[in-house]
Amino acid sequence: MKIHPEGYLVILVAFLLLAGLNVLVYRLCPNLWVTVGLGFPSLVLFLLVVWFFRNPDRSLVPCAGKVYAPADGKIVAIEEVDEPEYFRDRRIKVSVFMSPLNVHVNRYPVGGEITFVKYHPGKYLVAWHPKSSLLNERSTVVVKTESGREVLFRQIAGRVARRIVMYSKTGERAVQGSDCGFIRFGSRVDVFLPLDAKITVKEGEKSVGNRTVIAVFE
């Protein structure tokens, strides 16, 4: 199992803290039952931290006519909305909510030129709150495909998620399906599509990054 680089330091710190705690307790109370009673949950907690930063191989052959899910999770919203930050017009928004148990690697839903990148500090409302996309900490990226269509996707922090990592830079090339960022430890990714995009998922469905096609361009 591959571990995402964003997890290296967190995993190391978790190991040192848990190992140090167990050694300290053993020195103060060298009792087998105390050692097992603390050691087992410590191991489970450590494995959960490692599991959170897993990065499964999701390689794909880029396809210009498809929009892939940028994250694992659940489709919580499909709606026509006003997008006020970049397009300033009507778009179809597809929202993917990630629980702490989902893979938290974010991937480019389409490929092309990165035309816009902006980070916004903000609040930490629960990720499914209607105004979280406007008030929470978030980052916005726009990719212009070879056909000239622009797709905007936005990482949104939640009440638990307190760190957004985005690798995109304006002017660079986005490779469809490659890693574009990471969010700790929950939250949401919104994808804003042209009105003529054909949505291929439904609310309530589970999405798998680089596997679930959320829309196609005809």
Q: Which residues are catalytic?
A: 187
Nearest-CA neighbor of 69 among 188, 195, 194, 168? 188
Q: Which residues pair with 191 in a beta bridge?
A: 94, 153
Q: What does the DSSP 8-state code read for residue 7?
A: G
Q: Which residues pair with 165 in a beta bridge?
A: 182
Cα distances (angstroms) measured from residue 115 to each of 31, 32, 86, 192: 61, 60, 10, 15
Helix extents (H) in the chain: 8-28, 32-52, 132-135
All residues at 6 or more sequence positions from 81 whose CB lies less than 8 Å from its CB, including other chains: 90, 91, 92, 93, 192
